[in-house]
Amino acid sequence: MLSKSGAIQPGSVIGIIGGGQLGRMTALAAAELGYRVHVFTPEQNSPTEQVSAHVTHGAYDDQDAIETFGRSVDVVTFEFENVPAQTVRHLADLAPVRPSWECLAICQDRVREKTFCNELGIETAPWKAVSSVEDLKAAIAEIGAPSILKTTQLGYDGKGQVRIHADTDPANAWQDLGGGSAILEGFVDFKLEISVITARRKGGAMASFDVVENRHKDGILDKTIAPANIPADLAAKATAIGQKMAQAMNLVGLLAVEMFVTQDGYGKAHLLVNEMAPRPHNSGHWTQDGCKTSQFEQFVRAVADLPLGTTERHSDTVMLNLLGSHAELWHQQLSDPENKLHLYGKAEPRQGRKMGHINRLYPKGSQPKG
């Protein structure tokens, strides 16, 4: 249902493709704004459906189920990228899709993603597309080692990657990756990793959250520190990059952009874009407790074409992911009254699986180190 302004009216149904924790927290934020959520997911008892009004279980390429779903909602979005772009393209004939399938197609393929950035004049690590062992040998000869061989699609949290060292046999590396379409990226000796999340409405209005620092363990985000302890001019540059990318894609929704902070030959801080995601992001979970508007509420506002909320940070925050069995220490975490606990409703605590997170607040300006 559209209002006279073109916004999706409260009481309407927001369709979310994907049933993970990002969809769950988006559904909770949508409910607070008066919307109902209909989730489409192949997973039974998914985190999102536990808090949603409706659920359709089906494969992402089940055209009949997708069409029925599309006709039952007022607007469609997605909570992760691993959805066939053609499925989302088909949905666009049935309901507004925000972000668009074109945005999804860019962000779910590393070659398209890197090309998009470079054509905007935004720097990335050196890279080469690879589709065979011979391509890999040529790419290694050009880019050198150490470097990282990645699948162009479906890789996340350190999956779908093979490290290339000076003594690595290219044939073995190609076999370990599983072949297919890939990309070789030059290794980046970075000082820290940062990210920025930008919301954009249909008419072009944008708002960005503070730039944060991300620290990883075993390829998975361990903690996010908000704000990042970097110079103000560098934070402004990172924000400008995120907004430039969102504008160039005509994105409606959220765009998270991860960047490396390096140093050029003169010791000056330098930014290289690593990855982007057109959805809420793990590095934005701190906003649930550290900002006046969370990334999930902002996502709903943008998708529904509502006025964007303030991104003002009222507290410095450290977000800590709870992986696998760490989530079973929930009672211990709650015993500290300063901790804000968020669990995702997942039944099986597998190793490395994101089961929840904790936000810990500090006085604004205290610059927590985590």
Residue ranges at the known binding site for ATP:
110, 150, 155-161, 185-188, 193, 216, 274-275
Q: Pick out the residues of the known binding site.
A: 110, 150, 155-161, 185-188, 193, 216, 274-275
Residue 124's beta-bridge partner residues?
273
Residue 133 near residue 180, CB atoms below 8 Å: no
Please give the single-letter amino acid code of residue 356.
Answer: G
Residue 72, CA distances (Å) to 33, 39, 49, 183, 280 in order: 19, 11, 16, 39, 23
**Phi-psi region at 343: left, alpha or beta (left = phi > 0; alpha = psi -120 to 50):** beta
| Strands across the sheet containing 36-41 | 54-57, 36-41, 13-17, 75-78
Query: Which of 306, 293, 196 is closest to 254 using CA atoms?
Result: 196
Closest-CA residue to 315 (of 357, 356, 358, 366):
366
Is omega for the bond preceding 227 within 30 degrees of 0, making it cis?
Answer: yes
E strand or H helix at 198: strand 192-200
**Rounded to whole angstroms, what are the CA distances from 360 to 43, 320, 331, 341?**
31, 8, 15, 9
Strand partners for 38: 15, 54
Strand 192-200, strand 206-208: pairing: antiparallel
Determine the Cα–Cα distance for residues 294 and 312; give it in Å rounded to an integer.
10
As beta bridge partners, residue 339 has 360
Q: Are residues 138 and 144 in contact, defined by beta-carbon separation less than 8 angstroms?
A: no
| 8 A C-beta contact, residue 144 and residue 186 | yes
Would you state the structure tokens that stand for residue 113, as one six-digit string? 């993603």
